Chain A
């Protein structure tokens, strides 16, 4: 696979929820690319649209949610475009329940859910669900599928995989359950793994193990991963590239080092400031972002962050929508502070 061409390219994605009371623009024009072998972290507060973004990529948004605009281009090895025959498919053109989308989902793009406990059926054995995942995409017998399942469990560091296959998910510990989940997601060797806050539901020590496991599996299979989290610490640990989201929009993107050491957007800066540090003298108050996330129906016009922004410029930020622009080789930001800087010299 050509590493210089994106595996997944999300372009101007808009996913809205149409309710009786009005429209919620959960995702409102999101752009980002995922290159082969890259780990992209999407970070943002609860309600920023990060989960809806990846649900849109998997075509799993349920009504009343709908993708209204944008493209999700994916380089598939199983499905070719109906018209051009190209291996780059716009996933938004596929029927979400159709055969083509289903043969991508689970096989080429897999998901690790947030709550492994609730994501396994409690009345079916782990093996049943694993073998099913394999046989959905691979033409193998039950016995062969079982062997693959054991192999996968072994790969994710599950002790006694043969016995664990016949266990129920609630008989496993939190960490093992998440490992079983990862094994299930990897069962068909996906090129893109989408991890939706996979470590929120488990304790911190196991969290680190799971993250290490993911990272090593990623290297081993040369997968791409989209990693969703609200935890900047986790991002620093796993991601190569970071997308910062706020209220359905991308605020800033860039390689992980740049985002942490040279944040540009006031929102990114505020986020980083609110991380407690062991270097700050004891007794200092932890800075928080002023105000709260606006009500979904009363989104501010212009830049969604301006009511809470320290660098708010009246008449500019609340008047127009800022565009996501490349600032340098690596980082892009959507903020008028930088638009002006760019405009001034010219």
Chain B
């Protein structure tokens, strides 16, 4: 920083070298339709979240990723509505049906449909082999009645976004993303898997954030012995090879536990190792903030510690926490996926992306039914969107740390 001298009569001590960067930040905050002069004033009085939003809005790709995340989250909240069939319903005669692509226009008019498939058992391998039959047209309509499910766990309904007139039957199958070994509809299973995988990621991160803010806060604010102990603990945990530890911990879960119990145990296991990164972030912020004038001022005016931490310090870095948390969700999702994939995480009848991918574990299944890899594509898209969103949020939260 330049010392304040007689010539520093400007409002802001902006060094020439930084002109370009600073201007970009200012204008990034300028809304359309507002002249720059009014903006300068608008910026001065805007609350922090508004500044972050103005900057974030500039990052088009992150904005788009945000929309993708919202769509995925909607699926996770209402999986039953998006599913077309009971995800657990197996049909032994309809295993490994290839995907039936949804087509919207039939003879030039809007009439969604899928082509039918006909199957015959190969006499040698005794497997069903399916061929798309373009003669058979199965009309698809919106908001149809189907199997019963509960919205948010309490409203029972049977309305679904998509479906065929009389529901899927032996003659008229309807597998948007194909079926698996047991003839279960992969599309519907994917919808339900989204709920489980996404919520595990989210809850695990929430627990991590809680632990991270708590430990990081104690460490960064109090300093001294507490800081030393927590730092050593974090270092120890971070130098652990996470994957084998996760494997050992999840393997220790009793096999006879219910799906819900396993679900929460896995969430906890992921969080117990995941909080360290967030704690480091929080501690770093605290260390910087502790020296800031407004914190010193609060201290001098007699505010107690709790008030200083929660009223003065936490709000200034909450956007960083949100960004860091957003970036932590995909890590958790991938971790859950591979644990379940290895058979150590969630186990059937639970449905998660990892459980779905278990079906694609060996070359034989993939060679026979490559669409079994599609849940992996869902993982990639979700993680991609969350990462880009998180990066956008981080840049918006802190324009100076690119």
Contact = CB atoms under 8 A, between A and B. Distances in A.
A64 B252 CA distance: 58
B9 A45 contact: yes
A47 B19 contact: yes
A296 B19 contact: yes
Contact of A274 (B6, B24, B35): B6
Contact of B2 (A19, A22, A26, A200): A200
Contact of A297 (B8, B15, B36): B36
Contacts of A230: 2, 5, 7-8
Given A44-B7, A295-B26, A298-B36, 16 more contacts: A21-B24, A24-B19, A24-B23, A46-B14, A47-B14, A50-B16, A51-B16, A200-B3, A232-B6, A232-B7, A274-B6, A289-B9, A293-B10, A293-B11, A296-B19, A297-B23
A49 interface: yes
Contacts of B35: 298
A243 to B, nearest CB: 14
Interface in A17-72: 17, 19-22, 24, 26, 43-52, 55, 64-65
A295 B19 contact: no
A55 B8 CA distance: 21
B30 interface: yes
Interface in A195-212: 197, 200
Nearest to B7: A230
A250 B296 CA distance: 42
Contacts of B20: 17, 19, 24, 64-65
B30 A46 contact: no
Contacts of A26: 16, 19
Nearest to B11: A292
A231 interface: yes
A197 B5 CA distance: 13
B40 interface: yes
A41 B19 CA distance: 21
Nearest to A297: B36
A231 B5 contact: yes
Query: Interface residue tally of chain B, by bracket?
Result: 20 to 34
B377 interface: no
B2 A46 contact: yes
Given A21-B24, A21-B27, A46-B14, A231 B6 contact: yes
B37 interface: yes
Contact of A47 (B5, B16, B26): B16
B152 interface: no
B37 to A, nearest CB: 5
A46 B10 contact: yes
Interface of A: 17, 19-22, 24, 26, 43-52, 55, 64-65, 197, 200, 230-233, 271, 274-276, 288-289, 292-293, 295-298
B24 to A, nearest CB: 6
Nearest to A229: B7
Given A288-B9, A297-B36, A46 B15 contact: yes
A45 B19 contact: no
B14 to A, nearest CB: 5
Contacts of B37: 295, 298
A17 B23 contact: yes
Contacts of B7: 43-45, 230-232, 271, 274
Contacts of A271: 7
B225 interface: no
A292 B10 contact: yes
Contacts of A22: 27
A47 B14 CA distance: 6
B32 to A, nearest CB: 11
B45 interface: no
A110 B2 CA distance: 23
Interface of B: 2-3, 5-11, 13-17, 19-20, 23-24, 26-28, 30, 35-37, 40
Given A47-B14, A295-B37, A295-B40, A276 B6 contact: yes
A22 B23 CA distance: 10
A46 B8 contact: yes
B19 A52 contact: yes
A337 to B, nearest CB: 21
Contacts of B17: 51, 55
Contacts of A274: 6-7, 9
A186 to B, nearest CB: 23
A21 B9 contact: no
Contacts of A296: 19, 23
A46 B23 contact: no
A64 B19 CA distance: 11
Contacts of B11: 292-293
Contact of B15 (A51, A275, A292, A295): A51
A280 B35 CA distance: 42
A40 to B, nearest CB: 17
Nearest to B6: A275
B16 A21 contact: no
Contacts of A45: 7-10
Given A46-B8, A288-B9, A295 B24 contact: no
Contacts of A44: 7
Nearest to A286: B6
Contacts of B9: 45, 274, 288-289, 292
Nearest to B2: A200
Contacts of B14: 46-47
Nearest to B28: A21
B27 A52 contact: no
Contacts of B26: 295
Contacts of B5: 230-231
Nearest to A52: B16
A23 B319 CA distance: 31
Nearest to A233: B6
A80 B17 CA distance: 31
Given A295-B37, A298-B37, A19 B15 contact: no
A21 B19 contact: no
B184 to A, nearest CB: 50
A231 B17 CA distance: 18
Contacts of B2: 46, 197, 200, 230
A116 B108 CA distance: 73
B107 to A, nearest CB: 47
Lowest 8 A-B CB distances belong to which pairs? A51-B16, A21-B27, A230-B7, A292-B11, A293-B10, A298-B36, A297-B36, A17-B20
A247 B20 CA distance: 14
Nearest to A289: B9
A295 B36 contact: yes
B8 A19 contact: no
Nearest to B13: A46
